[in-house]
A and B are shown apart, each in its own frame.
Chain A
């Protein structure tokens, strides 16, 4: 067990980084469930799309920062198309339908991604500006990872502002608790649903782009992230944003430490955690979730 400070400081930041990334994507999934009442199994693929779009934009010469802005917009466009065409029609139907449908969407997007970009892992070139090493009290740490944390934190703050202070955000929150009231107040629920879905996709897209340089871009990246996100949602409690924060940090930590200490079976620990929480605490660790 390495006891030197360097290792631990780096590892802690890695845990935060991975947890933050998971949080971005898990929150998207969470609000889509909480407000739209749809479990979007295609969410991981949308995250992967963000990474792939980012890759293409950068490969075509766009700067990374512009890609970080444009790729999520492209992802939102795709997401809205999906939402309007296939998800909205089945919203009234029982949940099992949306599970199978979004599963079909996931398979389709994955297939298309393989078709367009091929099976080989790709790399998003990190801009030189971000590729330096920075020193925290003489401990080296890749600046890009700090940037990632910064983006994640920034997005979270933005999200909190959006949900807490803007009219749109408050409407969304109300819709998650009492959808009937919201529509009675004359607010167009279709717009709310579209807005929520767009927001969720935007978060996933941003996550995809910033994950790109770090984790490489490959077809299965969506699946793995999706599973981790579900673990986060289960542990944090479906519908609980606060729970997601705690859970994302927890899962990020377990996964990071797991890969360091028991490499091969790291994910098994994560799965066991999810199984235990699901079986015995279906409302999540904080008891705020709504896993009926």
Chain B
């Protein structure tokens, strides 16, 4: 018996060593991200880094949906779009001088309100039916946004939007027009979201979501109200998507239907898969890789999509683990 205790003790020590290592790596990474603007003079690359953070957040939210709850969406970009457009429309038509936190609440709130009834409908299904529904609704949103020229500017979108200042109480910390300010602002928001989400996914609640992902039927036979939990996982994913949308509009001071078209949905899925499903941090890497490749390779050739498609095929065939490590069993849960 004492042998058991010893190996238990050893294992616990291993686990906490691993944990401190993870924390260390995380702190180093955050440190690097904070230091980034100071050794990167190029404004363009700073903006690109900000964009990577935003898409990383969106890809992470898709990971919550796919990697933790086991639901596939081909059009998750739609929820970034709703957040982005809500803020843009408000800035353009109602109050260009809104504060950032009001806009954040507005954008996220709008996304929440749209995602709730749609999610309720969608979680009654799963697997492929669910994925198709995401396409149906995603295309619906896109068509509405694209065609309502008068309001949303149609194809051209809305441009020339004002940037709110970053205020904390009565102090003005900076303007979001400044690339460094918006980088730090985005980094802050993304970090908070990441830490919160990580906490939630490692909680008892997260465990329930995982059980649904692994074996939905079994989950209901251990007493889990599967629909309700799927809905909650969905809402978390969409809300985070809404946050990324708000950040997007703050960064670009514009928005157009391209953020929510079907190729954007596919690109997002690729980012999440490339980076590694089920990790939360992997999608950030996937976003970085995807955006770099798109930015860099596309200057050499317009046909980089061929390359990306092949990468995806390769990933599925040989390493369904992505870059960060994709639990094979994640997809085993789909087997019924």
Chain A positions near chain B (C-beta within 8 angstroms) = 39, 86, 89-90, 93-97, 99-101, 103-112, 114-115, 223, 227, 230-231, 234, 264-265, 267-268, 271-272, 274-275, 278-279, 282, 291-292
Contact = CB atoms under 8 A, between A and B. Distances in A.
25 contacts: A93-B331, A94-B331, A94-B334, A95-B128, A97-B320, A97-B331, A99-B128, A100-B273, A103-B269, A104-B315, A107-B305, A108-B310, A110-B305, A111-B305, A111-B308, A114-B303, A265-B143, A271-B137, A274-B133, A275-B137, A278-B125, A278-B133, A279-B122, A282-B129, A291-B125
Contact of A99 (B131, B302, B308): B131
Given A93-B331, A265-B144, A274-B136, A104 B125 contact: no
Given A101-B317, A275-B137, A278-B125, A111 B331 contact: no
Interface in B118-140: 121-122, 124-125, 127-129, 131-133, 135-137, 139-140
With a 10 A CB-CB cut-off, give which of B136, B262, B306 has the most chain A CB atoms: B136
Contacts, number: 124
Interface of B: 72, 74, 121-122, 124-125, 127-129, 131-133, 135-137, 139-140, 143-144, 147, 262, 266, 269, 273, 302-313, 315-317, 320, 331-336
B16 to A, nearest CB: 35
A111 B139 CA distance: 21
A249 B303 CA distance: 37
B215 to A, nearest CB: 12
A111 B303 contact: yes
Contacts of A95: 127-128, 334
In terms of DSSP, what is the predominant structure of the interface of chain B?
helix
Contacts of B306: 107-108, 111-112, 115
Contacts of B334: 94-96
Contacts of B317: 86, 89-90, 101
B125 A279 contact: yes
Nearest to B131: A99
Contacts of B309: 104-111
Contacts of A110: 305, 309
A230 B139 CA distance: 13
A274 B131 CA distance: 12
B271 to A, nearest CB: 13
Contacts of A104: 309-313, 315-316
A267 B331 contact: no
Given A114-B303, A292-B127, 12 more contacts: A94-B332, A94-B333, A94-B335, A104-B311, A107-B312, A110-B305, A111-B308, A234-B129, A274-B133, A275-B137, A279-B122, A291-B129
A227 B331 contact: no
Nearest to B144: A268
With a 10 A CB-CB cut-off, give which of A234, A275, A282 has the most chain B CB atoms: A275
A282 B127 CA distance: 12
Contacts of B128: 39, 95, 99, 291
B210 to A, nearest CB: 16
A7 to B, nearest CB: 24
| Closest A-B pairs by Cβ, 8 of them | A108-B309, A104-B312, A107-B309, A111-B306, A111-B305, A94-B334, A264-B147, A104-B313
Nearest to B302: A114
A95 B125 CA distance: 15
Contact of B313 (A86, A272, A292): A86
A267 B312 contact: no
B137 A267 contact: no
Contacts of B144: 265, 268
B140 A271 contact: yes
A115 B309 CA distance: 14
Contacts of A97: 316, 320, 331
Contacts of B316: 90, 97, 100-101, 104
Nearest to A234: B132
Contacts of A99: 72, 128, 131
A93 B310 CA distance: 19
Given A268-B140, A272-B140, A279-B125, A230 B132 contact: yes
A8 B79 CA distance: 40
A271 B136 contact: yes
Given A90-B317, A111-B306, A114-B303, A275 B136 contact: yes
Contacts of B313: 86, 101, 104-105, 108
Contacts of A90: 316-317
A278 B118 CA distance: 12
B153 to A, nearest CB: 15
Contacts of A291: 125, 128-129
Given A268-B143, A282-B129, A227 B135 contact: yes
Contacts of B136: 231, 271-272, 274-275, 278
Contacts of B332: 94
